[in-house]
Amino acid sequence: MNKIVECVPNFSEGRDKEKLECIVDEVRKQEGVKLLDYSMDKDHNRSVVTFVGEPDMVIEAAFNACKKAAELIDLRTHKGEHPRMGATDVIPLIPIKNISMQECVEYSKKLAKRIGEELNIPVILYEKSASRPEREDLAVIRKGEFEGMFEKLKQEEFKPDFGPDQPHESAGVTAVGARMPLIAFNVNLNTNNLDIAKKIAKAVRGKSGGFKYCKALGFELKERNIVQVSMNMVDYTKTPLYRVFQVIENEANRYGVNVVGSEIVGLVPMNALVDTADYFLKLEDFSYDRVLENKIYGD
């Protein structure tokens, strides 16, 4: 592959494995694309799929997966902990090798145009692809969720960049854009008190005075009878995982609860974990060049 793009679409289905497999099959069968990972979350009722490949092939796979999701997922009956506005909720493109962020922006527009015109699903460009400053933040776009989009899209500041001016009746609205690698990082607490998770999420969330490159919400994990601080780390080089984890642990102790585990949804850059190991192990004169796999595989 001369140019490599990563695509990490999020689908509003985390309970029906057969449906997800049908969506993922659209990626599997695409020539020039490699499926790296996919996962389901029952509580969030959401799935994350990760694949890489040549840009044009990645766009084709993403479009076909979005089309299949629109056929199988009906948001009128969808319930889950995670905010959502579309059957295919968001499709980010991430530059990996021999491709610039601006090139990914252009590819995201190409994909968005096809989804809007061929699938009749309104698309709003976000992050580096955003057509207006207020559209850069996915949380701002998605506020109100599927049910609120019918009124929201009537506002000039949220008029879709492509496709119709009203949500698809069952597939809703999709956000498409180019961005930096994002880490979906969740921390679980040994309490079922959702208010505690929400307070801790507020403490680490950038918009409420926490870490600039951290987005956070508090959720219930009903099957486990615990709560979770669910985060998107939008730039781990500027807000590292270990720093946020420590603050969550300290805040949890304030409320008399403990961290019982953490999880990463999807894939994670090796450097993010190396940085965490370096910090907690207090390694001296350590660098990424001393990681065995880095020496074996290189760039």
Residues marked active site are found at: 82
Beta bridge partners of 174: 123
In the structure encoding, which two tokens stand for residue 118, read together? Answer: 């061929």
* N-terminal to C-terminal alpha carbon distance within the chain: 13
Note whether 87 and 70 are within 8 A (CB): yes
Q: Is the dihedral of CA 276, 282, 283, 287 positive or negative?
A: positive
Distance CA 6, CA 52 (A): 4
Distance CA 119, CA 115 (A): 5
Structure-token match 């679980």, residue found: 188
Which of 252-276 are b and which e, b meaning 16 or more Cβ less than 10 Å from the residue's Cβ? beeeebebeebeebbbbeebbbbbb
For Cα atoms 73, 268, 53, give the angle at the middle one, nearest 5 degrees: 65
Give one word for 270, left, alpha or beta, with left for phi > 0 and alpha for psi -120 to 50.
Answer: alpha
**For residue 224, what is the DSSP state?**
T
In the structure encoding, which two tokens stand for residue 184, read together? Answer: 């979906």
Distance CA 229, CA 194 (A): 10
